Amino acid sequence: MQVVIVESPAKAKTINKYLGSDYTVLASYGHIRDLPPKDGSVDTEHDFAMKWELYADKSKQLKAIADEVKRADSVILATDPDREGEAISWHLLEWLKGKKAVPKGGATRVTFNEITKTAVLAAMKKPRELDAALIDAYKARRALDYLVGFTLSPVLWRKLPGAKSAGRVQSVALRIVVDREREIEAFRAREYWTIDAGLTSAGGQAFTARLSLLNGKKTDKFDLTNEAEANNARSAVEGSTFTVAAVETKPVSRNPYPPFTTSTLQQEASRKLGFTASHTMRVAQGLYEEGIITYMRTDGVQIAGEAITAARDTILREFGAEALPDKPRHYATKAKNAQEAHEAIRPTDMARRSAGSGDTAKLYELIWKRTIASQMASARMERTSVELLSDDRQTGLRASGQVILSPGFLAVYTETRDDTPVSGAEDDDDSRRLPRLTQGEKPRLDSVKADQHFTEPPPRFSEATLVKKLEELGIGRPSTYASILQTLRDRSYVRMEKNRFFAEEKGRLVTAFLERFFEKYVGYDFTAELETELDEVSAGDLDYLTVLGRFWAEFQAKTKEILELRPSDVTVALDEFLSPFLFPPTADGSDPRLCPTCGNGRLSLKTGKFGAFVACSNYPECRYTRQFAAEGGEPQVGNGVPVLLGEDSATGEPVSLRSGRFGAYVQRGEDGEKGAPKPPRASIPKDMAVTGPEDLETALKLLSLPREVGIHPESGEKITASIGRYGPYLAHNGKYARLTSSAEVFETGMNSAVVKLAEALANPGRARNAPVPLRELGPHPVSGAVIKLIEGRFGPYLTDGTTNANVPKGSDGLAISLDEAAGLIDTRAAMPSKGKKPVKKKAAPAKAAPKATAAKKPAAKKAPAAKKPAAKAKVAAKA
């Protein structure tokens, strides 16, 4: 018997169908070990020796693998055909060697680019040894990430309160986002005008032309910069008669796009389907493991010869001979790293037009269309340009258009453009269709209009454009893009709004710190060069210890230098570095650092327990403060410094906004001496906003809780509404009913309150066992089950009705996306059951197992487990 080990149970299930009874296919559930998150995991004094540690939650899988391997003749490691797959196989083999459990037949490695019967059986006939160069590249990357993370992050914690972590690649990706924010802030809009004329040809067909010549000179974009100039130009056009001076028609062809690589799939799925990079890879992983598409982590754009033939057959059958080029198309890979230049992402069966449902079906259709289109004929078009001149040849118009003669591949697939300008001035008029015009013809002038436009700042990055930028700069590799973007979100360094990345103040501050003190290590060129060196290690052209030694010698010295700085020195340096952002020039030329509250204090950057903020030099006499990234000088909460919202008219006491250990809260009155009663306070719920003096009324409402709704008509007892630890609720005579939002606390009337309390009383079990969800995120992209956010006894969790997954510590459950929620559900579903109860349940049917050896061991462990309850019972009886 031979044991085949793969990463996932889905992949194991698919492969198991293709192999005979002589094979047992098991899943490792991904990596089985990693560098433990503590000092010393990489020994820089002894050739960067690495101390690996098994994942605690993999014990069940590893035991199952070890039990099967004992009875096996050999082991076949069939993990994915890339660097990570090679690393998983290496970890498995090293673990087996450590247990002295490698069978007599040894262990071999097989790879396949698609999980089809033909590919799997062919791979089994060509076993090989593990690729040492790929393993070295993995170790180099893992060691570098560890050394940067566990050396740089503590520096951030000590010198920059509130910062979470830094990473070798994530910090550079964050800098790209922050640099774009700076470009947008530095941008100054410019006004310009365009003149468009509506004309009718001799044949009676209308068309539009734009001013291109004025006073005998060719017009540029910024020649008309105000309304007066635009009106003069419009008058010049209105007072002219135009003649067609030239008509130029030329054929144009467009070639199809190559099949998808990892990055282009992520970009197009983001643009066309609105998928995040991580969700795209999760859905693609499922398609791959079902044997429906080829391996989805690749830089290659070429596809196998038999796949090209199958694609051409499909094109001929589905779209006709005119859509099929004379010769097959072959694309050259742009991959720098040969080991990652696998075949492009394509369907394993070109005749299959659909697969699965929901997001799975959408992504497969995208892959199928792109692959088929890549082998189709070019699109043939005719592009026409027409020049019109006034009788005095001082004023000219230009019109252009394009006609598709043969759609070719465009009948199947068109790539979406990034960041299409919203202004009509930048619209590409080549797509317009022009009437037939002849030289010397005099079209009739029907109308002339002048339109005002303003230049627009560069757009913020979407997932698609950020992945494209990372690829252009050579930062990271396709297999890492999804995790890089997710890490930035998890650290709260960025936020997503309308599918665009916005740099948070935390992210800006960390980037400023790294640019000021570790400029080289967040440089685009340095990071790209390091990636190139790691590719050379993968190819076997460079020793990985050389790369690590060279990097560590400089990085360690720089880290020691920064650690010697005092936090106050760091703050002063950052205050100077960030001055253009924090204190930009004012419109009236006044000092931007002058405190708007006291009038004589100086504003500067400060750091506190909860991060950075701007404060007045006259504190505590002047309590002016604003957030690090606040604009307009309005006082805002931050860093433990209270912000005055106003006074309570009923008591005359000040009401302030404060930041505490568990978030923002409002307080009435001042703090007393130590031991004195605390003044009234109220936490700010997530679905309400209190940011400044304009929200004083909301703050007073929160401080007034609980609110008396009225007297219950039957009991004569009060009904109150308030906000507790688990959200808004109604209370009456020791009974409770949940409200769906904080606003309902202040809006619910007597009739509604009585009904809600009656419903809660009539269904006590439902209220206890099936709590009202805090939020419904939507259907799971694979199963279709609705994912809900529930407030549990130990905190919020996500559920699809079958699997529950905790919301990660520090994450806002109400802000979590559907993709992230689905990922957490999937990860939890793939994990083994914990605790003794699941073990007992699974051990019971062991007698029916076909292999006696597999059933004996779990049964042997039952005796001691059964004694514990009895021992506890005796102790309880004595007590």
Question: 165 CB contacts (<8 Å, ≥6 apart)?
Answer: 149, 153, 156, 491
Torsional sign, CA 427, 428, 432, 436: positive
Torsional sign, CA 158, 159, 163, 168: negative
- The 3-state DSSP class for residue 515 equals helix
| Helical (H) or strand (E) element with 815 | none
Closest CA to 738 of 770, 715, 712: 770
Q: How far apart are CA 688 and CA 685, in angstroms?
A: 6
DSSP for 107-172, written as a single string: EEE---SB-SHHHHHHHHTS-B---HHHHHHHHHHHHHHHHHHHHHHHHHHHHSTT-----TTHHH
- The 3-state DSSP class for residue 248 equals strand
**394: exposed, middle or buried (Cβ count in 10 Å: 0-12, 13-18, 19+):** middle
Q: How far apart are CA 125 and CA 118, in angstroms?
A: 11
> Distance from CA of residue 495 to its chain's centroid?
9
Asked whether 28 and 95 are in contact (CB, 8 A), the reply is: no
Closest CA to 63 of 805, 823, 842, 837: 842
C-alpha distances in Å from residue 869, one per residue of 241, 551, 875, 876, 878 = 102, 56, 10, 10, 14
Asked whether 505 and 629 are in contact (CB, 8 A), the reply is: yes
Q: Is 476 left (phi over 0), alpha (psi -120 to 50) or beta?
A: left
Q: How far apart are CA 212 and CA 196, in angstroms?
A: 10
| Start-to-end CA span in the chain (Å) | 56
Q: How far apart are CA 529 and CA 567, in angstroms?
A: 32
DSSP for 54-82, written as a single string: E-GGGHHHHHHHHHHHHT-SEEEE---SS
SS (H, E, C) 419-452: CCCCCHHHCCHHHCCCCCCCCCCCCEEEEEEEEE
Active site (annotated) includes residue 726: no
Q: How far apart are CA 797 and CA 663, in angstroms?
A: 20
Question: 7 CB contacts (<8 Å, ≥6 apart)?
Answer: 27, 28, 29, 30, 79, 80, 85, 88
Angle CA 153–157–159, to nearest 5: 110
Say how many C-beta atoms besides its own lie within 10 A of residue 155's C-beta.
Answer: 22
- Selecting among 138, 146, 295, 729, the annotated active-site residue is 295
Asked whether 336 and 532 are in contact (CB, 8 A), the reply is: yes
- Strand stretches in 291-408, DSSP E: 379-390, 396-406
Both tokens of 415, joined, read: 């790539």
Give the position of tokens 């097959």.
Answer: 328
Residues that are catalytic: 295
